Amino acid sequence: MDLNFTSSEQAFRAEVRQFVRARLPEDISRRVLDGRLVRPDDFSRWQRILNAQGWGGPSWPKEFGGTGWTPVEQHIFDEECAAAGAPRILPFGLKMVAPVIMAFGTPEQQRRFLPRILSAEDWWCQGYSEPGAGSDLASLKTRAERSVGDAGEEYIVNGQKTWNTLGQHADWIFCLVRTDPAAAKPQQGISFLLIDMKTPGITVRPIITLDGAHEVNEVWFENVRVPVANRIGEENKGWTYAKFLLGHERTGIAAVGIAKREMQRLKDIARQETRCGRPLIEDPLFATRIAQLEIDLIALEMTQLRALSTRADDRTAGAQASVLKIKGTEIQQALSELMMQAVGIYALPYTRASTEEADFEHLVGPEYAPALASTYCNMRKTSIYGGSNEIQRNIIAQTLGL
């Protein structure tokens, strides 16, 4: 396999770079590049700009309104957007539930939901994890009992989801629910529902994370009525659709483009003069750590490109996604740790939320110091969500028969 980009791919990169430079709002890119809190409207604004260009679904096939780009073109697009400071495309609609709807949804569901995801009219969130069902997701207990109501057949949903990301802004949530409690195996008897967040009986309660931000939530369901028409695929077959979705999520978590941008940011910080007068980049030990991390990042990118060239039905595809998830999150955590260490105590006084309103001219220490500590704290979760890295190692071993 040739890992060099072709002339047409290089031309595509130039086209994407020119577009992003011309159309990405400066206030959004500044927040992203400074490591500050990205606002909900920033995500929606950028998605609308992309959609107007016909690029709203970078990984979608043309038949559903996407670009029809090759996996390598998608990789180039992600890399150029990240380098310019574009906000990360929210994955819950575009990269997680949309592929499930395309593959397993009815034509009516596809017509109803997919265009509104592209146009940023609907914000989606995920309802997978529960207090007793995180890495052991098959142990979920949220129940959906089928009944007949005034509007026809429906499910009555009761239960709790946790670690729900950005659900406070969401219009819809895709949920795994147990529809057959008597199933012989825990993976059986689970269904995949699409639920309107405005439905009576849904309560969203914030969880404030270590970085001081309201990013995740608990979501409670109390006698929530969901039309049977909002079920994806067959009843009790939701585990199949969940695994399909998780493969997309884990590959995206690697975030190679963002890691490359943060690597450059780390180098820029290390080149600044310290209180001792010598930049950290000239310290052999610190420079070695940067070099080792950059080698890992290059290897991760090569692995991702190799995975992109693999046929979708390759039996090792799940293992590849797990490898990308493990190494990608480890690199993200290491980058945030080195950046925080580079500024030392100047990173401590600020949370991600406080820097949103702070006057940067009056901050103590270097201008690049704010939010580094909160970014470090936030990055601790990456090796857990999407299936913990320990679980990913189990998947690799089982898939390869080790």
Distance CA 129, CA 137 (A): 6
Q: What average pLDDT does the structure give for the chain?
A: 88
> Does residue 154 or residue 358 have the better pLDDT?
154
73 carries an active-site annotation: no
Helix H or strand E segment including 191? strand 190-196
Longest dimension (CA), the chain: 75
> Does residue 224 or residue 255 have the better pLDDT?
224
Q: Which of 181-190, 228-237, 250-259, 359-368 has the highest mean pLDDT?
A: 228-237
pLDDT score of 321? 81
Relative to beta strand 231-232, strand 214-227 is unpaired
Q: Which residues of 109-137 are buried (b: 16+ CB within 10 A; e: fewer)?
A: beebbbeebbebebbbbbbbbbeebbeeb
Q: Is the pLDDT of residue 23 over 60?
A: yes
pLDDT score of 294? 97
Q: Which residues pair with 145 in a beta bridge?
A: 156
pLDDT score of 288? 96
| Domain 124-237 CATH superfamily | Butyryl-CoA Dehydrogenase, subunit A, domain 2 (2.40.110.10)
pLDDT score of 313? 46
Tell me what the mean pLDDT of segment 296-314 comes to.
77
Tokens 């606002």 — which residue?
A: 39
Q: Is the pLDDT of residue 315 over 70?
A: no
What are all long-range contacts of 297-302, with beta carbons under 8 Å and residues at least 24 apart?
297/256, 297/259, 297/260, 297/263, 297/331, 299/327, 300/254, 300/256, 300/259, 300/324, 300/327, 300/328, 300/331, 301/256, 301/260, 302/3
Catalytic residue among 73, 80, 130, 249: 249
Tell me what the mean pLDDT of segment 256-278 comes to.
86
Distance CA 203, CA 160 (A): 10
Tell me what the mean pLDDT of segment 24-52 comes to.
93
pLDDT score of 352? 59
Question: 325-344: per-residue pLDDT in tens?
Answer: 999 999 999 999 999 888 88
Cβ-based burial of 393 (10 A; exposed 0-12, middle 13-18, buried ≥19)? middle
Question: 119-140: per-residue pLDDT in tens?
Answer: 999 999 999 999 988 878 889 9
Tell me what the mean pLDDT of segment 283-304 comes to.
94
pLDDT score of 135? 76
- Going by pLDDT thresholds of 50, 70 and 90, the confidence category of residue 386 is confident
pLDDT score of 347? 77
Distance CA 159, CA 127 (A): 11
- Going by pLDDT thresholds of 50, 70 and 90, the confidence category of residue 312 is very low
Distance CA 224, CA 157 (A): 5
Tell me what the mean pLDDT of segment 99-122 comes to.
97
Nearest to 115 by CA among 161, 51, 172, 72: 51
Q: Are 236 and 189 in contact (CB under 8 A)?
A: yes
C-alpha distances (whole Å) from 207 to each of 21, 199, 203, 204 are 36, 21, 13, 10
| Domain ranges within the chain, ordered by starting residue | 7-89, 124-237, 254-400
Helix (H, G, I), strand (E, B) or coil at 386: coil
Q: What is the pTM of this model?
A: 0.88
End-to-end CA distance of the chain: 26
Q: Is the pLDDT of residue 171 over 50?
A: yes
As a whole-number percent, the residues of the chain with pLDDT over 70 amount to 89
Q: Is the pLDDT of residue 314 over 70?
A: no
Cβ-based burial of 245 (10 A; exposed 0-12, middle 13-18, buried ≥19)? buried
Distance CA 134, CA 156 (A): 23
| Total count of residues recorded for the chain | 402
Four-way CATH pick for 254-400: 2.40.50.140, 1.10.340.30, 1.20.140.10, 1.10.10.10: 1.20.140.10
